[in-house]
Amino acid sequence: MSANLAAIFYLVSGILFILALRGLSSPDTSRQGNYFGITGMIIAIVVTFLSIGNFSTSLVYVLLFLVIGGAIGAFIAFKIPMTAMPELVAGFHSLVGLAAVFVAIAAFLNPAAFNLGNIGDIKLASLIEMSIGAAVGAITFSGSIIAFLKLRGIMSGAPITFSGQHILNLILGIGIFVLIFYLCKTQSTNIFWTVILISFLVGVLLIIPIGGADMPVVISMLNSYSGWAAAGIGFTLENTALIITGALVGSSGAILSYIMCKAMNRSFVSVILGGFGADNSSKDKKEKKDQKPVKSGNAEDAAFLMKNASSVIIVPGYGMAVAQAQHALREMVDKLKKNDIKVTYAIHPVAGRMPGHMNVLLAEANVPYDEVFELEDINNDFANSDVAFVIGANDVTNPVAKTDPKSPIFGMPVLDVEKCKSVLFVKRSLSPGYAGIDNELFYKDNTLMLFADAKKMTEDIVKNLD
């Protein structure tokens, strides 16, 4: 395939990726957006195949690894539960970063194969591009691995901090740029490997101080990093599709991170630099749990309160995802609506462990989009509602975010659930949420705790609504 024709098809692929992002901006058009993205990727892959120089030999290797990688990816996609999607996304980001590092290494060790010059005499622009791509890719890889370990529970979700941490990060960051400068002057192999190793270390240091409550923003941020790494390597390979795709992922991830930071009242600069997440939660939380009693009830109590309500607001969270209770929840809501009870859903921007987690689950249960509202659109309605049914949401409903400056979630906008006349809180126990702090909502006079698996409790409530 000629270079001009390949460029045209890559441009078409890029346009489809843009349409995909546009479609994914709304639940109504998300399925169509996915189709655009799939079509764009198929075009990009086919054009890349047809652009391979030594077609007969190279294509065999490309197809072999494509089949192996595709089979592994398909197996994981079929087996992975929705609750594990955040760590899966983090894992995939790490692979994008590692791919960028490998391509940069290949280009540095064999520049002639990429038309970049010869060993020791690589084009300056190409050397800068591959160095930055390798550095960002390495940061993305190690940072994503730490995020994966935290989300998976293999590593503690609590922030890991030490004295002089930010100064060390600054020194290492400046060191990377200085080494890239000297790499461009000397083209030393040792300096190239040093840049990659320091970048791996920076990725770890950027993510370890970030606590569990802020992990959804980390996922979005790493998504942006992976895009910029891919774009950098796209320049090295002179691949238009990779440049467009990387730039789209990088910019959209950065915009999403900014939106989420705004929703959580976090500093965007601090997120990029890994400078937030310190856990200063006070010890009096445990004392409060021991000293202050809670009111607990059962499915019959919950059904009675909801049957006698005129309006109910559903607040889904990670607990609903774990129990896969969205279908039972939809059945409960349908019964309430038959009794002329107004039901709406309140979604916090970071409910669950990744952006849009709850929206996807509710869409899976065919919940009408016009019944689902974001925090800023529904928060004022809690004060005028009879019942709030909190199903597995914890940190996003914690009033301490508005009252305790020492709390790791202080300043984060939360759903004003406590303003409802009655709060039904479905949870297995009084254990803290992912941020590691106790929820003051448990002890409010208008809160009735429903200790059970979210799906089992919802199903029991449905039976009592008859």
Handedness of CA 140, 141, 143, 145 (dihedral sign): positive
Residue 262 belongs to some domain of the structure:
yes
> Rounded to whole angstroms, how far apart are CA atoms 436 and 421?
27
Helix (H, G, I), strand (E, B) or coil at 201: helix
Helix (H) or strand (E) holding 372: strand 372-374
CA–chain centroid gap for 137, Å, is 18
> Rounded to whole angstroms, how far apart are CA atoms 20 and 41?
11
**pTM to 2 decimals?**
0.75
Residue 408 belongs to some domain of the structure:
yes
466 residues of the chain, pLDDT tens digit each = 677 788 888 889 989 988 998 887 777 788 888 899 999 989 988 888 787 665 566 677 778 888 898 899 888 888 887 667 778 888 888 998 999 999 999 999 998 888 888 888 888 888 998 899 999 999 999 999 998 888 877 887 677 878 888 889 889 999 999 999 999 999 999 999 999 999 999 999 988 887 766 677 788 888 888 888 888 888 888 888 888 888 888 888 888 888 777 766 666 666 666 554 444 444 444 444 455 688 999 999 999 999 999 999 999 998 898 888 999 999 999 999 999 999 999 998 878 777 777 888 888 888 988 899 988 899 999 999 999 999 988 888 999 888 888 877 777 888 999 999 999 999 988 887 766 788 899 999 999 999 999 999 999 999 998 7
Helix (H) or strand (E) holding 135: helix 124-152
Same domain, yes or no, for 212 and 309? no
The residue type at 319: G
Q: Cβ neighbours of residue 51 under 8 Å, at least 6 residues apart?
A: 1, 6
Is residue 454 within 8 A of residue 319, CB to CB? The reply is yes
> Rounded to whole angstroms, how far apart are CA atoms 115 and 254?
32
Residue 114 belongs to some domain of the structure:
yes
Q: Residue 365: give its domain's CATH number.
A: 3.40.50.1220
Helix (H) or strand (E) holding 425: strand 422-427
Q: How many folded domains does the chain comprise?
A: 2
pLDDT of 289 reads 47
> Rounded to whole angstroms, how far apart are CA atoms 72 and 80?
12
Last residue of a domain, one of 272, 298, 321: 272
Same domain, yes or no, for 256 and 289? no
Same domain, yes or no, for 192 and 100? yes
The size of the chain, in residues, is 466
Same domain, yes or no, for 268 and 288? no
Same domain, yes or no, for 102 and 169? yes
Same domain, yes or no, for 211 and 316? no
Q: Are strands 121-122 and 117-118 parallel, antiparallel or unpaired?
A: antiparallel
Residue in 156, 136, 137 with CA at minimum distance from that of residue 146: 156
Residue 7 belongs to some domain of the structure:
no
The structure tokens listed for 107 are 């280009």
pLDDT of 277 reads 45
Q: Cβ neighbours of residue 444 under 8 Å, at least 6 residues apart?
A: 399, 418, 423
Other CB atoms within 10 Å distance of the CB of residue 209: 20
DSSP state of 296: B
Helix 165-186 vs helix 124-152: crossing angle, to nearest 10: 150
Residues with a known catalytic role = 395
Same domain, yes or no, for 216 and 298? no
Q: Which residues of 18-35 are buried (b: 16+ CB within 10 A; e: fewer)?
A: ebbbebbeebeebeebee
Residue 417 belongs to some domain of the structure:
yes
Residue 407 belongs to some domain of the structure:
yes
Q: Cβ neighbours of residue 334 under 8 Å, at least 6 residues apart?
A: none
> Rounded to whole angstroms, how far apart are CA atoms 108 and 194?
14
Same domain, yes or no, for 214 and 336? no
The residue type at 418: E
CA–chain centroid gap for 426, Å, is 25
Cα angle: 325, vertex 361, 309; to 5 degrees: 60
Same domain, yes or no, for 119 and 252? yes
Residue 148 belongs to some domain of the structure:
yes
Measured CA distances, 352 to 71, 79, 357 (Å): 28, 20, 6
Same domain, yes or no, for 135 and 238? yes
Other CB atoms within 10 Å distance of the CB of residue 308: 12
Residue 15 belongs to some domain of the structure:
no
* Domain interval for residue 355: 284-464
Query: Residue 314 — φ and ψ, nearest 5°?
Result: -90, 130
Helices (H) then strands (E): counts for the chain: 17, 8
pLDDT of 268 reads 67
Is residue 323 within 8 A of residue 392, CB to CB? The reply is yes
